[in-house]
Amino acid sequence: MNKKDFPLLIKHPGITYLDNAATTQKPAQVIHGVSQFVENEYANIHRGLYALSEASELHYYQSKKLVAELIHCLPKEVIYTANATASINLLAQSLANSGFLGKGDAVLVSIWDHHANILPWMALSKHFGFTVKFFGLTGDFEIDFEDFHQKYTKEVKVVACSQISNVTGGIYDMKKIGASLRSETFFVVDASQSAPNMPVDMQDIGCDALIFTGHKMMAYTGIGILALKQQWIKELQPLSVGGGTIKDVSCDGFELQTTNEKFEAGTPNIIGAVSLEYALEYLKSLSPGQTFSATMQ
């Protein structure tokens, strides 16, 4: 990664930017790509048969294809949201509203998690009657698997963990946790800090859902990712309905889509998706190991 790729750092040579864990600066390749798209190809998607709309739709789905390649899932398993927090809230509320979580159940959360992966479960527990439990770390800041196995009782329906802590910087073994779970347990991994910095393989981890955000990996703000296995896309209910979410509607009712589109009501953040497309293309152009953890020279 080269400092010359980042206009802000070139225009302000006195700045040493160390806040990539919160959000990354945007490389010229992303800024230019988005600008060219807006100037030459921008239109709404899913609603038009004209050239601009079709061009925009190609970009939108290309970004999902690149996300799928990055984390080893299918493009049709990628759902776009506003950010990682929105992804976790959407998932948690969908699990509860669909009846997967209820009275007597439990959610097991890692103690090192970001508030975004703690508060949604805690808030919903008050309304749906399930409990939230936490497992911790050893004195060496490793996963305390003894504590995990003690807390992972038959009541636990969901296990939610961050792969990298935004507090300790520790990298935690999600594959080992995934291998410890019963087949009926829903496993969600927050990869907000890991997806930009290391290989993340949804299949290898064995998780049902993987969450991260674009603005931490050089895309613009306003584009979050919820990668959700197909079986759950079919089973879970969306929080919002509207344009793009239905197969059919009449005065007597409506029929929802059974694809990821049922979770993306209304006009999506097309420009955000295109920024993610160019950000992922930029990342692919870097040699292995040249991520945000590397020093920009």
Per-residue pLDDT of the chain (297 residues; tens, 9 = 90+): 788 999 999 999 999 999 999 999 999 999 999 999 999 999 999 888 899 999 999 999 999 999 999 999 999 999 999 999 999 999 999 999 999 999 999 999 998 888 999 999 999 999 999 999 999 999 888 999 999 999 999 999 999 999 999 878 899 999 999 999 999 999 999 999 999 999 999 999 999 999 999 999 999 999 999 999 999 999 999 988 888 888 888 898 888 888 999 999 999 999 999 999 999 999 999 866 555 444 344
Q: Which two tokens stand for residue 153?
A: 């009782």
CB 229 within 8 Å of CB 208: yes
pLDDT given at position 223: 98
Cβ count within 10 A of residue 76: 14
276 closest CA partner among 79, 52, 84, 62: 62
The reported pLDDT for the residue numbered 214 is 98
pLDDT of residue 287: 62
pLDDT at 290: 53
Give the separation between CA 118 and CA 113, rounded to whole angstroms.
7
155-174 in b/e form (b: 16+ CB < 10 A) is ebbbbbbbbbbbeeeeebeb
What's the CA dihedral at 24, 224, 161, 132 to 10 degrees?
130
In Å, how far are 19, 55, 216 from 22, measured between CA atoms? 6, 32, 7
Which two tokens mark 36?
Answer: 């060219």
Yes or no: say if 227 and 199 are a contact pair by the CB < 8 Å rule. Answer: no
Q: What is the pLDDT of residue 106?
A: 98
> How many DSSP H helices and E strands does the chain contain?
10, 9
- Which two three-digit tokens encode residue 137? 């770390």
Sequence-ordered strand ranges (E) for the chain:
78-81, 106-110, 131-135, 156-162, 186-190, 209-213, 224-228, 246-250, 253-256
Tokens of 156: 């636990």
Cα→Cα distances 113→80, 156, 216, Å = 22, 18, 17
Quote the pLDDT of residue 179: 97
Residue 293 pLDDT = 46
**Beta-strand relationship, 224-228 and 78-81:** antiparallel
Total-model pTM: 0.93
Q: What integer pLDDT is reported at residue 291 of this predicted model?
A: 54
Query: In this structure, what are the phi and psi dihedrals at residue 81, rounded to the nearest 5 degrees?
Result: -130, -165
* The pLDDT value given to residue 47: 82
Whether CATH 2.40.70.10 fits 32-285: no
Length of the chain: 297
Tokens (6 digits) for 6: 């980042």
- Show me where the domains of the chain are located: 32-285
